[in-house]
Amino acid sequence: MKDKYQVVERSIIVTYKSLVKSIAPILQTYNIKHETVYKGIGMSRSTWERRIKGNEFTVKEMEKISLFVNTFYTDMLDARQKKNVSNLNKKTKY
């Protein structure tokens, strides 16, 4: 099938499936614990493990995960930056 004649863009679905499969590696890359995420989105451990293993997150779950992970990571970076500025200020005092 030619892409230009698709009613529903297949590439969006392929990208979504790829994102679902990449949740575990993303969390590992950014040192975010699975427990932090599933508790943060209000999901049980057993459901989380089943979804991770089968790459079966729903769209709503992926929305919650992305919002939580992005907010968590941003907050973590902000905290690091504040700590670095604080340490820099301590070192520069005479």
- Asked whether the predicted pLDDT for residue 81 surpasses 80, the reply is yes
**Three-state DSSP class for 25?**
helix
pLDDT confidence tier of residue 82, bands split at 50, 70 and 90: confident
Where do the domains of the chain lie, and which CATH numbers do they carry?
3-92 (1.10.260)
| Degrees to nearest 5, angle at CA 79 with 78 and 84 | 95
Amino acid code (one letter) for 9: E
pLDDT per residue over 27-60, tens digit each?
999 999 999 999 999 999 999 999 999 999 999 9
pTM: 0.76
The pLDDT value recorded for residue 7 is 77
Compute and round to an integer the Cα radius of gyration of the chain: 19
Amino acid code (one letter) for 28: Q
**Summary mean pLDDT of the chain:** 89
Query: For helices 59-92 and 10-21, what crossing angle results, to 10°?
Result: 60
Assess contact for 65 and 26: CB atoms under 8 A: no
The pLDDT value recorded for residue 78 is 86
